[in-house]
Chains A and B, each alone.
Chain A
Amino acid sequence: MKIDESLPLEYSTEENRLKILGFWIFLGAEIALFSTLFAVYFTLHNGHGNGPSAEELFKITPVMIETVLLLTSSFTIGLGIHAMRLGLKKAMMTFFVITLVLGLGFLGTEIYEFVEYIHEGATIQTSAFTSSLMTLLGTHGAHVTFGLFWGTAILIQVAKRGLTPETANKSFIFSLYWHFLDVVWIFIFSFVYLKGMM
């Protein structure tokens, strides 16, 4: 394994550079995936049949909590990567743990929100509107859930093996993934919730 010392740890080997480019391309595919889900939602959001409409369903409080939690987590993982580049393993791990805890808080709030919806008689089967809404939110939520497990696995590896080119590479790629989920959430917040509540 040839290590190029002039580059940050996560870019330092050929294999690492390939993986980072590959993940960027994967994120391109993810953008196509979420774009399709948004297109489905925009096509069907007025089709609420006998069920509730967006105005009736959406509440601002849980959505704001979710937004603040996720946006903050994106900031903390940025700090984590910064710490990693400075070679501070402990600081990096602390920021990653904070990120995952915030992500867990986001997920908890989202689950609470879904339970509320179901109490109001809006299940995934109620109408095309609720089907497309819950599929879009659910896909994002599933990504966050997967991220929590993935992030934990990486933390364990960093704790065991230290900051090597391999673990640094994984941590960096995970941070790309986490930022991406934040970007998707910003679109959900603006074009699903705010637009729906107007």
Chain B
Amino acid sequence: MESHEQQFLILNEPMIVAAMISIVVGALSLVIGVTYFKKWGYLWREWITTVDHKKIGVMYILVALVMLFRGGVDALLMRGQTAMPENGLLDAQHYNEIFTTHGVIMILFMAMPFIIGLMNVVTPLQIGARDVAFPRLNSVSFWLFAVGAGLFNISFIIGGSPDAGWSAYFPLASLEFSPTVGNNYYAISLQIAGLGTLMTGINFLVTILKMRAPGMTLMKMPMFTWSILITNVIIVFAFPVLTVALALMTMDRQFGTKFFAMQDGGMDMLWANLFWVWGHPEVYIVILPAFGIYSEIISTFARKNLYGYKSMVVSMVAISLLSFVVWAHHFYTMGHGVMVNSVFSITTMLIAVPTGVKIFNWLLTLHKGKISFTTPMLYSLAFIPIFTIGGVTGVMLAMASADYQYHNTMFLVAHFHYVLIPGTVFAVIAGFHFWFPKVFGFRLNEKLGKLAFWFITISFNVAFFPLFILGLNGMTRRMYTYSESTGYGPLNMLSFVGAVGLGIGFIILVYNLYWSIRYSPRDETGDPWDARSLEWATHGPVPFYNFARIPQVNELDAFWHAKKHNKQLWSGPIEKIHMPSNSGMPFLMSGAFFAAGFCLVFSWWIPTIIFTILIFVFMALRSFEQDHGYYVSVEEVERIERELGGDK
């Protein structure tokens, strides 16, 4: 595609022009709407400058939902293109761009932020804290993620999207074979968002290690908090590898270094190694919190303790360690010899053991439980069998010699969607329904929720099961079209039907959000599900200081015990509460990051340097700033508690 190389604005694709127009119209109507209703001040005071972990969590989830829509449109276009042999909906270059952005967006700008959003909302509440350890840093994390996502998303209208796959293997991603600015966008936007994620990792580790309510020892923490603790350890040790890999990519493409070059001593395989040394732990960064969410939901709606608490913790720790020693299984066919392949084959298969332990723990938690089939519970129950299919096909792929047959086929595509969708996507939707009333004070409609659940679950299987068969029949992934004589047509059409069904399911989900905001009855108790852990002990919606008095914890599921035995979680008088003050600086600094990143993408050196200096100026301003937060008086706390319906 010669024309892609020179263009600044992409104007030769009718679909992209249409998207561009709709973005401009959407943005304009948003601006006009906010101005008309005089909401700029509200937006700035209550959201943009906020350091409240709950609001930051909500913003993460909002962006994740928008990205789910964007990635979903990509998916529909891909399935639409391959639904029929010799289809002409997309050309090869456009198809390459779309499968690349689909992968990047779904993993890094949908799954991760959705999980980080839930973790922001829930974790401090579950450990009985008033906020995270570094509230200002938390806001920096969010805004860096948001501008990273923004930068990545403008690529398709300004300059062209990355087109070398979400794993961006060299030499395909090198300047020689991918001459558009697309992969510059990839490297720089992920770099900015990744910085934010690393800070989140540090922030939540300190929060969980140091800010738990008195009496809550590590082994009395709720399982979701455990999963977040372990996930953040993985983040802290895996993300620096991505930082380096992306920096080297930028340097190879823009500064002419020779890391992944084909001559002058460079090594293209080094990229694949670096990418997956981060990339495989990344898989567990999105799956372990999902396990935590399921553990909470299953034990709540089975009305039983989580079976095998200790083995759950041990197996998560084991998974986190193993996640760092399996990366080479992503490229068995790259030719690194029998010994290396055998070792990585064994480590990969080992992961099935702790994962299997967890599956049995959930089943035994359900055993003889009084199960109530709410929407979050339905997703959790569907997860177990569907995820097991994903897991078993994973073990098939783990066998290096057999993998030569499956490698790069649709079988692999089916496998990882069978792991990631029931694993991560179902979990975040379940968590969304489960914790929604905690944040907003009312539940999402159950009837619509269940309708969406059935649409999503059935359509998911219709969309992805045929891909297993197609893969075994020899259809490779990332193929933009195929001839009729291959016989791939009918199953691809079936898969397209499933994809449309999934789209309808997600539309019902969003409609449910709208419907429930308007009509759902408001909950007064703060504990609509009769649940177990501390976040349900305070009011719903949660006051900004979370707990008027910090709870005292004596056992696992302290809130459940308090309810059953009519005990009080707190004692003593209400004291004045210290809270961090809001700040616009994280937002402004992230704006400088965005500007510097955008200029760097196009190698505009002088503006890049100016905006980079601006970033450091913001850091210096922060260093000299004296801000010790503020106190909420006892009278104020008592007033708010009265308004929310009684002392909690």
Q: Could you tell me which A residues sit within 8 Å of B by CB distance?
A: 1, 17-19, 21-22, 25-26, 28-30, 32-33, 36-37, 40, 43-44, 46-51, 124-132, 135, 149-150, 153-154, 156-157, 166, 170
Assess the B241–A36 pair: CB atoms within 8 A. yes
Task: Report whether B198 and A128 are in contact in the complex, using a CB–CB cutoff of 8 Å.
Answer: no
Task: Determine if A1 and B206 form an interchain contact, defined as CB atoms under 8 angstroms apart.
Answer: no
B143 to chain A, nearest CB (A): 19
B614 → A minimal CB distance (Å): 15
Question: Residues 241-260 of chain B: 1 if any A CB is under 8 Å from the residue's CB, otherwise 0?
Answer: 10111011001000111110
Report which of A22, A36, A170 forms a contact with B206, defined as CB distance below 8 A.
Answer: A22
Q: Is the CB of A37 within 8 A of B244?
A: yes
For B261-291 the 0/1 string (1 means CB < 8 A from A) is 1011111001000100100000000000000
| A44 with B266: CB separation less than 8 A | yes
Q: Decide: A29 near B257, CB < 8 A? Known: A18-B206, A47-B266.
A: no
B244 close to A33 (CB less than 8 A): yes
A149 to chain B, nearest CB (A): 8
Given the interface contacts A50-B264, A128-B259, does A29 sit within 8 Å of B198 by beta carbon? yes
Residues in A neighbouring B274, C-beta threshold 8 A:
36, 40
The answer on a CB contact under 8 Å between B256 and A125 is: yes
Q: For chains A and B in complex, what number of residue pairs have CB atoms within 8 angstroms?
A: 119
Subset of 7 A-B contacts with CB under 8 Å = A29-B236, A29-B237, A30-B240, A32-B236, A33-B241, A125-B258, A156-B624
**Chain B residues with Cβ under 8 A from A26's Cβ?**
202
> How many Å from the CB of B553 to the closest CB on chain A?
19
Chain B residues whose CB sits within 8 angstroms of the CB of A154 once the complex forms: 623
Cα–Cα distance between A40 and B271 once the two chains are bound (Å): 10
CB < 8 Å neighbour of A40 from B201, B210, B244, B620: B244
Q: Which of B198, B240, B270, B277 contacts A44 (CB 8 A)?
A: B270
Could you say which residues of chain A place their CB within 8 Å of the CB of B258? 47, 49, 125-128, 130-131
Q: Would B264 and A25 count as touching, CB distance under 8 A?
A: no
Closest-by-CB residue of B relative to A47 is B265
Residues of B bordering A, CB below 8 Å: 133-134, 198, 201-203, 205-206, 209-211, 236-241, 243-245, 247-248, 251, 255-259, 261, 263-267, 270, 274, 277, 616, 620, 623-624, 626, 628
- Given the complex, which residues of B lie within 8 Å of A126, measured CB to CB? 258, 264
Known A25-B202, A40-B248; contact A51-B240, beta-carbon cutoff 8 A: no
Residue numbers in A under 8 Å from B209 (CB-CB): 21
Whether the Cβ atoms of A29 and B240 lie closer than 8 Å is: yes
A40-B259, A47-B265, A128-B258 known; A17 and B210 CB under 8 Å? Answer: yes
Residues of B near A132 (CB, < 8 A) are: 259
Q: Given A30-B240, A128-B259, A44 and B265 touching (CB < 8 A)?
A: yes
A29 proximity list for chain B (CB < 8 A): 198, 201-202, 236-237, 239-240
Specify which of A1, A33, A48, A150 is in contact with B265 (CB 8 Å cutoff): A48
Residues of A within 8 A of B244 (CB): 33, 36-37, 40
CA distance A17 to B207 in the complex (A): 12
| Complex alpha-carbon distance, A128 and B256, angstroms | 11
A47/B267 in contact, CB under 8 A? yes
Q: How far is the CA of A170 from the CA of B626 in the complex (A)?
A: 13
Give me 18 other A-B pairs in contact (C-beta within 8 A), A18-B133, A21-B210 excluded. Answer: A18-B206, A22-B206, A25-B201, A25-B236, A29-B198, A29-B236, A29-B237, A30-B240, A32-B241, A33-B241, A33-B243, A44-B270, A128-B264, A128-B265, A128-B266, A131-B251, A154-B623, A157-B624
